[in-house]
């Protein structure tokens, strides 16, 4: 296709190929952190060029079809490009809004639901100062919960379970968000608050479930 364009005296394809090579250099030359390569951020400038290279094939086909279909049959030249565009639109919609959506929901933790629970507690029987997140390895980021709870400054994390004993001195209602597999935290909470209420929040995707421990 590129040779066809060059034969027509159109050197834009060559310029695009050279641009593509230059724009992937920020990622290719980042050898200090090899685990970060390939990097979407560093190579982001190459994305529009790749899209243009793909579109050149459509442009070349459209030009050839207009040469093939002349006179009253010229409208036929529109049929193949239109069919390709419709097929591409359908596949893109399905990949992004169905396949990718399903994969995304299975790969990210439900911080939106956690934020809603924290906000609901603060707006009802408690406040944000007595809502806590007990972090767990490779689990959610407290900052994402804060954003979804409506207060980006909220940072109530329990980094050491020994801190929970100090909480007991405060008679105010408390809420703890914790990972379902965190047995150590559950044991300490049950020991400190025998009347505490444990509930499993059932998310849309089961892998995003989390525990809510409420202390009246």
The whole-number pLDDT of residue 68 equals 77
The whole-number pLDDT of residue 2 equals 53
Q: How far is CA 189 from CA 61, 131, 185, in A?
A: 68, 14, 6
- 212: enclosing H helix or E strand: strand 210-215
Give the pLDDT confidence of 189-215 residue by residue, as tens digits. Answer: 999 999 999 999 988 777 889 999 999
Across the range 110-139, mean pLDDT stands at 94
3-state secondary structure of 41: coil
The whole-number pLDDT of residue 54 equals 82
In percent, the amount of the chain with pLDDT more than 70 equals 94
Across the range 30-54, mean pLDDT stands at 83
pLDDT category, 109, cuts 50, 70, 90? confident
The whole-number pLDDT of residue 66 equals 77
Task: Estimate the crossing angle of helix 12-23 against helix 46-68, to 10 degrees.
Answer: 160
- Examine the pLDDT at 72 and tell me if it is beyond 80: no
Q: What is the 3-state secondary structure (H, E, C) of 106-162?
A: HHCCCHHHHHHHHHHHHCCCCCHHHEEEECCCCCCCHHHHHHHHCCCCCCCECCCCC
State pTM to two decimals.
Answer: 0.64
- Examine the pLDDT at 32 and tell me if it is beyond 90: no
In percent, the amount of the chain with pLDDT more than 90 equals 50
- Examine the pLDDT at 1 and tell me if it is beyond 60: no
Average pLDDT, the chain: 87
Give the pLDDT confidence of 85-102 residue by residue, as tens digits. Answer: 899 999 999 999 999 988
The whole-number pLDDT of residue 154 equals 94
Task: Give the residue extent of every domain in the chain.
Answer: 2-107, 111-215
- Examine the pLDDT at 121 and tell me if it is beyond 90: yes
């Amino acid at each position: 296709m590129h040779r066809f364009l060059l034969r027509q005296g159109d050197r834009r394809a060559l310029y695009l190929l050279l641009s593509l090579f230059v724009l992937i250099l920020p990622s290719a030359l980042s050898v200090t952190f090899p685990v970060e390569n390939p990097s979407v951020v560093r190579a982001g400038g190459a994305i529009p060029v790749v899209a243009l290279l793909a579109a050149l094939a459509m442009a070349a086909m459209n030009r050839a079809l207009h040469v093939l279909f002349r006179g009253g049959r010229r409208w036929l030249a529109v049929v193949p490009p239109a069919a390709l565009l419709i097929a591409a639109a359908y596949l893109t919609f399905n990949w992004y809004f169905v396949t990718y959506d399903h994969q995304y929901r299975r790969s990210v933790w439900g911080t939106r639901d956690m934020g809603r629970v924290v906000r609901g507690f603060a707006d009802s029987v408690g406040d944000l100062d007595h809502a806590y997140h007990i972090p767990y390895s490779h689990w959610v980021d407290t900052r994402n919960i804060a954003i979804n709870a409506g207060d980006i400054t909220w940072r109530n994390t329990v980094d050491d379970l020994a801190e929970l004993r100090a909480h007991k001195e405060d008679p105010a209602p408390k809420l703890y968000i914790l990972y379902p597999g965190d047995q150590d935290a559950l044991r300490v909470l049950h020991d400190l608050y025998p009347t505490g209420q444990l509930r499993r929040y059932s998310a849309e995707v089961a892998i995003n479930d989390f525990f809510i421990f409420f202390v009246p």
